[in-house]
Amino acid sequence: MKNHMQAPTPPMGWNSWNTFFDHINEELIFTTADAMVEQGLLAAGYEYLIIDDCWSMKDRSEDGKLVPDPEKFPHGMKAAADYVHSRGLKFGIYSCCGVRTCAGYPGSFEHEFADAAQFAEWGVDYLKYDNCYRPNNQTTPMLYRRMSMALRSSGRDILLAACQWGTDDVHHWIRSSGAHTFRSTIDIQDSWKSIESIASAQIENQCFNGPDCFNDMDMLVVGMYGKGLNPETSVGGCSDEEYQTHFALWAMMNSPLIIGCDIRSMSEKTKEILTNPDLIALNQDPECRSCYQIPVYGNPDAFILVKFLHNGDLALGFFNFSDVAANVTLDFWDIGLSYASGCSLRFYDCLSHRETGIQKEFFAPRVAAHGCKIYRCSIVEN
């Protein structure tokens, strides 16, 4: 039987919002599509190119349709989608469940079916659907169900990315809405404090993750270095160590991996982080198992994430949120691997891409401040 899931694993792609804000246009989309292919991002799994808010005119046409801004997109959205598709990518666009978008452009409230048909006609594959300016007497479950219904009747497979911000108890009803991903946080900022806050808050919500409906911890800020044009997102930047930890957390926690930096000029280190095949493999593991957390005795700023993988391996993430380096200790008994089992763990380092040997009973790597160590482990007999 054919698998009809549009998001069997967390979606991967690029979005314009974090870096470019309202400074978007046709040339940016075309050159970014080229860069996604030429920089190896498509080959690494990043398939969606998503235009965020501010792409349309401030008013609908006389017949009620959304109108692309002719100065930004002189050839229209179908031409943009066609170019993106010609590069082997999928095309994403933005709308909102309210009367207006968050930046004040026309929203899709009461236009859901007409807008969905228009998106399908243009060749849209992904809709980021925001949560601003909805009427006070309208509930978000109904509004997201309505757009989901409209997309499903449009005649085209369009992934629904519900940008719902984690309000209204979203984790408990979003899967039933038909959405394929759901934003569970406020907007991320290009700062370590923001990354730490989001990750810490979402660990307890891992149980709501699963194929075709993923907990979206917002777009990646890896490689921005405080250079974005969005005044809300670009607030100072992070170190490469912090960006590496950010990417590892999103990968381990099954969040969609949506790049937010300018990939046309990304550094080699940024490219190395974003295209790490071993971390992407953890995020894209076919079983999509949620991870669980183990605290570290004596260090409240450190913790370990454990994730079962489809081939019997385990992913182990050692994280240190403190401001100084620390040993992060895992006693194997805490993951159910007792000494009496007669088994040990063979470690493969997902950051250095090398085997690091067999460990018995416990493991205590030294982890840098705001850093991480990520391992793929197999169980072996002693």
Assigned token pair, 355:
């085997």
Q: In the annotation, is 69 catalytic?
A: no
SS (H, E, C) 110-131: CCHHHHHHHHHHHCCCEEEEEC
Residue 273's contacts (CB-CB under 8 Å, 6 or more residues apart) are 222, 223, 240, 243, 244, 247
Catalogue the E-assigned strands of the chain. 12-15, 48-50, 90-96, 126-130, 159-162, 181-183, 214-216, 257-259, 292-296, 299-308, 314-320, 326-327, 330-331, 343-349, 354-359, 362-363, 366-367, 371-381
Helix (H) or strand (E) holding 344: strand 343-349
Euclidean distance between CA atoms 178 and 116, whole angstroms = 15
Catalytic choice (53, 125, 130, 218): 130
Catalytic choice (22, 34, 187, 278): 187
Measured in residues, the chain has a length of 382
Assigned token pair, 307:
């994730």
Q: In the annotation, is 187 catalytic?
A: yes
Euclidean distance between CA atoms 129 and 115, whole angstroms = 12
Q: Are 263 and 39 in contact (CB under 8 A)?
A: yes
Active-site residues, by number, are: 130, 187
